[in-house]
Amino acid sequence: MKETAISIQHVCKMYHLYEKPLDRLKESLHLTRKQLSKEFHALQDINLDIYQGETIGIVGTNGSGKSTLLKIITGVLSATEGDVSVNGRISALLELGAGFHMEYTGMENIYLNGTMMGYTKEEIDEKVPKILEFADIGTFIDHPVKTYSSGMFVRLAFAVNINIDPEILIVDEALSVGDVFFQTKCFKKFDEFKAQGKTILLVTHDLSCVLRYCDRAVLLNKGQLLEVGSPKSVVDSYKKILARGSKEHKFQLNHESSQLGKNKLKLNTDTIAYGDGKAVIHDFYIKDGNSKITNTILKGETFVIGIQFSFEENLHDPLIAFTIKDHRGNEITGTNTRIEQVDLAQLKQHTVYTIEFEQEMNLQGGTYLLSLGCTGFENDALAVYHRLYDVTSIDVISQKDSVGYYDMNSKVRLVKTEE
């Protein structure tokens, strides 16, 4: 049986919000019988067990309660109701500046943080070389951290947090300010921690990161825990929240009206389909190099993705798109009519059109998932008219695979140099 690293039971966090600072004073001094504050529930009855050795991703829109939950877990905040129990030493990288004294130098902050974690000076002395090597900020280590750029700050903060031998590592969005090389170094460290059986709790807007590194994911929205499950399932649910105002509906296989191809393809009966209905995807197909409708495409051949659709209302700036993902939900490739500079704004209402995307299959051999969508922008906000997530698969047959997701069709030459 798995050991619990963090247990969260019925946790609530409520704040009193005041229109004016004076109202807070009046209420605290009981100068009025009228309640001058409004209750804001940042977290509502959160229940979650995180097990030792798990990597958990927490996703949600801004204001959903992600950072509040982490602060309660780490003891920075107290819960209004409920209990949190932690089994193991926590190292937390929250917002920039947390746990650091801005007037102290980087080196002084290393010793400050180590002391706060319960280490002796001699124990910190042993860890300093690894911290300096990982942070790689040179002579700035002897400068006050208030002079650091955000990138330098996160380098030092992360280096300190991973080198104090945590059993539980908590990271809240901080890595987004680092450069790509430092982020790569950090994720390699995540892999090491996972191999060592350590627990990682990660809050991020990088959904690919959640899909790649996490064992489970948690979806928070407006202070409520909506879903705990596989990263792919949670990410799909989160994307529906991002598409505000969308209505979910089951994807129906209407063979009688299908004149193109979905009744000839291997389909996903658990397809997630939703949208506000201002446009409808009626049918679709995948054609191989011989114009045959099929799920199977040979690597290197030209193939077509066709989408049959209609607009039920006049739409200002609609676009049709497809995305190809791997089995974990990572988006590998895709395009849309806007990228391809095809204007759909002049199309008539209630008229069925078919658009075709023709491309060369350069993905490695394997099975991929195809998603389709019709979206647009209304008042600078994304509007989802109709989306079909993971509606069917594409099986790529290959006689030669290179490294990674796709093949750059390298041409190899051996050139003899003069001795």
The verdict on 206 and 68 lying in the same domain is: yes
Measured between alpha carbons, how far is 65 from 41 in angstroms, rounded to an integer?
9
The verdict on 23 and 135 lying in the same domain is: yes
The verdict on 370 and 252 lying in the same domain is: yes
User: pTM of the prediction?
Assistant: 0.78
Residue 389 inside a domain? The answer is yes
Looking at the 3D structure of the chain, how many domains does it have?
Answer: 2
CATH number at residue 313: 2.70.50.60
Residue 212 inside a domain? The answer is yes
The verdict on 51 and 152 lying in the same domain is: yes
Tens-place pLDDT, residues 88-110: 988 888 766 667 888 999 999 99
pLDDT at residue 258, as a whole number: 47
Are the C-beta atoms of 282 and 256 separated by less than 8 Å?
A: no
CA neighbor of 137 nearest in space, from 157, 122, 120:
157
pLDDT at residue 177, as a whole number: 62
Domain termination residue (choose one: 187, 204, 239): 239
Residue 414 inside a domain? The answer is no
pLDDT at residue 256, as a whole number: 42
Instruction: Using DSSP bridges, classify how beta strands 272-275 and 381-397 pair: parallel, antiparallel or unpaired.
Output: antiparallel
The 3 state secondary structure assigned to 381-401 is EEEEEEEEEEEEEEEEECCCC
Using the CB atoms, write b or e for 278-304: b if 16+ within 10 Å. Answer: bbebbbbbbbbeeeebbbebbbbeebb
Are the C-beta atoms of 303 and 361 separated by less than 8 Å?
A: yes
Domain termination residue (choose one: 220, 239, 258): 239
The verdict on 193 and 49 lying in the same domain is: yes
Ranked by mean pLDDT, which of 113-117, 216-220, 269-273 comes out on top? 216-220
Measured between alpha carbons, how far is 208 from 217 in angstroms, rounded to an integer?
12
Q: Which residue has the tokens 């895709």?
A: 334
Using CA atoms, how far residue 247 sits from 241, 312, 387, in Å, is: 10, 15, 10
Measured between alpha carbons, how far is 107 from 363 in angstroms, rounded to an integer?
48
The verdict on 214 and 324 lying in the same domain is: no
Sign of the CA dihedral with 124 first, then 129, 130, and 136 last: positive
The verdict on 159 and 86 lying in the same domain is: yes
In terms of residues, how long is the chain? 419
Measured between alpha carbons, how far is 296 from 288 in angstroms, rounded to an integer?
7
Using CA atoms, how far residue 119 sits from 112, 124, 291, in Å, is: 10, 6, 68
Tens-place pLDDT, residues 297-327: 999 999 999 999 999 999 988 999 999 998 8
The verdict on 193 and 268 lying in the same domain is: no
Tens-place pLDDT, residues 65-76: 999 999 999 998
Are the C-beta atoms of 192 and 221 separated by less than 8 Å?
A: no
Residue 418 inside a domain? The answer is no
- Check whether 226 has a pLDDT greater than 90: yes
The verdict on 250 and 198 lying in the same domain is: no
The verdict on 226 and 254 lying in the same domain is: no
At 175 the three-state DSSP class reads helix
Strand partners, 267: 392
Domain termination residue (choose one: 197, 220, 239): 239
CA neighbor of 382 nearest in space, from 179, 239, 271:
239
Q: Which domain holds residue 222?
A: 4-239
The verdict on 227 and 263 lying in the same domain is: no
CA neighbor of 160 nearest in space, from 131, 183, 182:
131
CATH number at residue 144: 3.40.50.300
Dig out the tokens for 359 from the structure: 């491309």
The verdict on 209 and 105 lying in the same domain is: yes
